[in-house]
Structure 1
Amino acid sequence: MTERRATIGLAAIFSTRMLGLFMLLPVFALYAHDLPGATPLLIGLAIGTYGLTQAVFQIPLGLLSDRIGRKPVIYAGLTVFLLGSVVAALADHIVWVILGRAIQGAGAIAAVTTALTADLTRDEVRTRGMAIIGTSVAFSFAAALVIGPPLARWFGIAGVFWLTALLAVAGMLVLARVVPDPERSMVHRDAQPVLDQLSGVLANPTLLRLDAAIFLLHLTMISLFVVLPLSIEGAGLDPLNHWMLYLPAVLLAILAMVPFIVLAERFGQIRPVLLGAVMVLGLSLLGFRAFHQSLWALAGLLILVFAVFNLMEAILPSLVSKVARAGARGTAMGVFSSAQFLGAFLGGLLGGWAHGSFGADAVYLLGALISLLWIALLATMAMPENLTRHVLALELPTAGDILALERRLLEVPGVREAVIAIDEGVAYLKVDRRTLDWARLQTFSVGA
């Protein structure tokens, strides 16, 4: 019950914060022209600048939470997010909106939220808890596309930022009243970044390609929203009703991606699915350029783009988990998330520059050209083995016995990697479930 309460509370905090960041995407390009100093470049920067500060601060704040505690850092992050929302809500110039968005991003609590989830859940249910939080973010993206347009029409851009400020306050209340205090906080190598693992993660060529993939995905998506709302309005749909296009597109996209998730994960067709998805994305962006005057064409293309986005958001983190060394998943995911946010920042910047310099068509063309780079990355990337991560609770060995115990674990049929974290009292393993001798492995566990 405590674990469920903790997971639901932390998912609510994280998703409402992301909802506040995402709500600007479908509306800012439509209403930013009312702000003094607004140019396409600065509008794009305002949309994406949160990504820069988010990428810079998320790993350091995660490491700080190891020293001073999780909840104090989350409270501080939500306070910073609240401050940025208020600055943007009161803005009377585009520069102040950019500053507010940068401050919002500086309240980077992703790594800390993950670490607190690990503190409050057992090893055997932790993956499920992380999945619930990840799913909640996907729902917050869909909700932002629905809530943002009518909210901006009724209350203006300032109203969107005031709502994000209220969401920050709501997050603090949930943290205080719903999320339990952990009995103790400790480093969980499979759930949070660890500083001494960074060099190994950054030296792994496959992980770097996956980081580049998520970087390019978010670059493309954020640059798209610099001009997409304008194209939808130009096709004849009033901004108040843009949600009527986004909502069915998101729902149909979720249905469309499911068969390809099954094809990639269950039947091992990861490379063809990824390459096909990037090709579809590139062709869809060319379609936006060619058919932006047709509302029906935009609707069909949106379904394709959202399907690709959701598919990639599901497959790429799964690949990171498979590629990362045993016990290094948290660090690998921290770098992966930082690459994602950097992509969002550069997407806003490049999208705004292309729009201001060459027009909306150039933004769509830019995304299509980026897909060619993406295809080259994926076509030459080594695909990982289909191994499963497993955490085994151990009787604490003495320091001199660690290497010997790791060797014994690796002798168990099906165990491919083993790393003992003596401070956590666990062994992080990567195993082949098809050949694993579960009975023999369990002889190493606590109380066996």
Structure 2
Amino acid sequence: MTDIKRLATTDADFQRQLDALLAWDSVSDDRVQTTVAAIIRDIRARGDAALLEFTTRFDRWTPATAADLELPRARLEQAWHTIPAAQRDALALAAERIRRYAERQTLESWSYREADGTLLGQQVTPLDRAGLYVPGGKAAYPSSVLMNAIPAKVAGVGELVMVVPTPDGELNALVLAAAHIAGVDRAFAIGGAQAVAALAYGTATVPPVDKIVGPGNIYVATAKRAVYGQVGIDMIAGPSEILVICDGATDPDWIAMDLFSQAEHDEDAQAILVSWDGDFLTQVAASIARLLPTLERRAIAEVALRERGALIQVRDLDEALTVANHIAPEHLELSIADPEAVVTRLRHAGAIFMGRYTAEALGDYCAGPNHVLPTSRTARFSSPLGVYDFQKRSSLIMASSAGAAELAKTASVLARGEGLTAHARSAEYRGAGA
């Protein structure tokens, strides 16, 4: 039986124990930051030449020229036609559901006129070019391609550029097929901090983008943090998280497997169950012990559950919601009889999965809402990735003659109060000429 912490809100030091469990330092160490800074400098200074050298060094294959780093769109389409039909159908259905959901998020331009004819409003425009980082190596994430690319295309992004590392020169057909159906415009076989730097600053071969989205390892995350300001980024993501609130009436095997679904991501993932039914917590612990040996990724899940997992007993549903709002999890399962009655009381969560039949895994792949979510308690102030992340807003102001005269009075008083007399006179000139 794996060791998983058992906590209770009645414990004298519960809050300390909980905060220690939640603590996660996403900031990379000095060695990683130094390495990433050197890579970024080299890409900025030498462009494609440095990109080729880093590809040879880190991905263990040597392109003949920088042009060989680009994957033609025909190669993406070829992958689509060569994967098994069942995978094509799954990608197509997931893509359609993600697209339908994303289409409801689109921001619209608006304006209104005041009585004197002054126009005020907001103009919404898409980004010109966005970059999508897709992790490579042992694992492949076609679902992440769909989740990041489709909202960008729905937003109207002019060009979507994908980068994906190819260790030993091996390409993942499922990732390329996902890029095809999601509408990726250009794709490059590059990864790591060097790919992030290339997207941020551009090289002769890789075009510079306006925003970089998508997950990656600590070097990728550190590079995204370093180039922020030159370009926008989606977020700095920490390990995967799941918090389940259960009233004790859901099959304990289901709940155990839901906890595993995040614990199997990596050893730093977090899986927490909260319930006011102590016997149910014991049942889930037994399910964990029995089912854990059946997992293909048992070794990873076992470490995650032991180091960062917990079964928490609370007094009642009200206290469970209080604990959940403090944790502010990436994924929150509300596995109770009437989730709709209480969901509005959950203020901080990346995604909320309501009811006994809504496994978090459905959201990872095909439910529709985005699976790129805030982690490490950042759901207190952050939101899931969406169409709005690929759109910008510009304010519209068009003063009428009468409006300029009236607004100039207020602007002049405030500007002179701040000691900015040129501001004041600029407004006054318009007011006097009205």
TM-score range, shorter chain: under 0.3
TM-score computed with the length of structure 1 as normaliser? 0.24
Q: Which has the higher strand share?
A: 2
TM-score computed with the length of structure 2 as normaliser? 0.24
Q: Which has the larger radius of gyration?
A: 2
Q: Which has the higher helix share?
A: 1
